[in-house]
Amino acid sequence: MNKMHVPILDLTRQYETIKPEIDAAVAKVLASGRFILGPEVAGFEEEVAAYCHVKHAVGVASGTDALLLSLKALGIGPGDKVIIPSFTFFATAGVVHNVGATPVFADINPKTFNLDPADVRRILTTNYEPRTTIKAIIPVHLYGQMADMDEIVAIAQEYNIAVVEDAAQAIGATYRSTQPHESPTPNHELGPNEPRTPNYELALTNHAPGPSARAGTIGDLGCFSFFPTKNLGAYGDGGMVVTNDDELAERVRILRVHGSKPKYYHRMVGVNSRLDALQAAILRVKLPHLDEWTAARQQVAARYDEMLAKIQGIETPYRAPNRSQIFHQYTIRVLNDKRDQLRDFLKEKGIGTFVYYPLSLHQQECFQGLGYEEGDLPESELASHEVLSLPVFPELTEEEQTYVVRAIQDFFAKSKP
């Protein structure tokens, strides 16, 4: 087998397919002289809102800021706690800390890698005064497949706590409910720390055909990242908050410009977090291609499933029956403590891979003071030792993919006892 170079992601291939459109969009912004917010950002916000079937979309500087401003809009701060999965990117925990609240780490479902509702309920029933200290849940739709929102929303409604969806890796993913849910509480003026019931049924009602909802639209607020490597990626940082709640949307809009409305008159203390017009213009070109690119990723994943099915020692990604998987990552489990050996072997063969993520959040040095110990969240800890993401992007060729699979087959053939 002749050696090839197969990157885990190649953004230049995508650019070549839409180069004239991208170049024209950038030139238009440069000629306009309007680089902060403005018509390109407003236009992109309208298009994302239409794509997600929500009332509001608010552009911000990054996916991290989308989470941060969502928590601030909900009034979450010092003395509050927020439940998050331990197996995810650091930003999910970082924003909780940076609003002055405390992250409470929950374990994951070993099949989907997403927040385990049973562990959320365990936390809520054993934590001291949970109804007054835990103010929100942040389910992360990891790798492009949504968390179990039926159960998460049911728990949130039972305890009257907010839901902020971290959909950074899941734009365009869908969820079909299998359970009835209570109607959302009508809008009313909230106190600074009063959570709002998730607009679950409104999200479903706004979808056609059938009772399915897109990622980010089921909770109180949904957060997207447009980091370049995302399925819908900018050529720099960018993020978006979506919601069906008028008041929360307005709070996020004000918070992103230092808390001012009108300019220089500050109703609250916010931050500087505005989506650049250049990035919005680029993303407006890309958004109409997103579903096509998602379908191509799904085809790549289907080929992997078929070709990897008979290899002993790995597990291919699980698809939950009521959800779509957009494959931001195609992540396998490598069993029997062979993950790092396989990763090194593939690197020698010229194949790019990545470990998302090598250390669970409850084990990070900066959170040692929270009192977690090894073994507290066993599924998160096991995943960090087994996961390996393979190359998956729309322009990946069948020849490249076959090379990747043959290399994996070769590794396991050579590593048999």
Q: What is the CATH number of the domain that holds 160?
A: 3.40.640.10
- Going by DSSP bridges, is the β-strand pair 174-176/212-214 parallel, antiparallel, or unpaired? antiparallel
Question: What's the whole-model pTM score?
Answer: 0.92
Decide which of 249, 272, 288 is a domain's last residue. 288
Could you tell me if residue 6 is inside a domain? Answer: no
Q: Does the bond joining 356 to the residue before it have cis omega, within 30 degrees of 0? A: no
Q: Pick from 234, 255, 288: which residue ends a domain?
A: 288
- Residue 126: predicted pLDDT: 83
Domain that holds residue 127: 12-106+113-288
Judgement on whether residues 254 and 314 belong to the same structural domain of the protein: no
Kindly report the number of other CB atoms within 10 A of residue 298's CB atom: 17
Residue 2 lies in a domain: no
Given a contact cutoff of 8 angstroms between Cβ atoms, the answer to whether 384 and 87 are in contact is yes
Cα–Cα distance, 342 to 353 (Å, whole number):
10
Whether residue 378 is found in the same domain as residue 280: no
Rounded-to-integer distance, Cα 90 and Cα 103, Å: 11
User: Is residue 171 located within the same domain as residue 189?
Assistant: yes
136 phi and psi, to 5 degrees?
-160, 160
pLDDT tens-digit map of 243-255: 999 999 999 999 9
Are residues 169 and 227 both part of a single domain? yes
Instruction: For residue 5, tell me if it sits in a domain.
Output: no
Contact 199, 184 (CB under 8 A): yes
Distance, CA of 244 to CA of 249 (rounded, Å): 8
Q: From 253, 288, 323, give the residue that closes a domain.
A: 288
Q: Are residues 282 and 375 in the same domain?
A: no
How many CA atoms lie less than 13 Å away from 43 in the CB half-sphere?
16
Reported as a single tens digit per residue, the pLDDT across 341-392 is 999 999 999 999 999 999 999 999 999 999 999 999 999 999 999 999 999 9
Note the pLDDT of residue 210.
43
Query: Could you tell me if 282 and 399 lie in one domain?
Result: no
- Per DSSP (E only), the strands in 284-345 are 314-315, 330-334
Q: Give the span between the Cα atoms of 342 and 331, in whole angstroms.
A: 13
What CATH number is given to the structural domain containing 338? 3.90.1150.10
319 and 196 in a common domain: no
Given this model, what pLDDT does residue 190 score?
35
Q: Where are the beta strands (DSSP E) in 67-139?
A: 81-85, 102-106, 134-137
Domain count, the chain: 2
Helix or strand or coil: residue 374? coil
Nearest Cα to 200, choosing from 134, 150, 259?
150
Q: Has residue 213 been placed in a domain? A: yes
Ranges of residues in the chain whose predicted pLDDT is under 50: 129, 181-198, 200-210
In Å, how far are 110, 160, 248, 384 from 157, measured between CA atoms? 25, 5, 18, 31
Between CA 328 and CA 74 the distance in angstroms is: 28
Do residues 256 and 347 share a domain?
A: no
Same domain for 87 and 177, yes or no, is: yes
- Listed in sequence order, the DSSP H helices in 102-191 are 117-126, 130-133, 149-159
Beta bridge partners of 104: 83
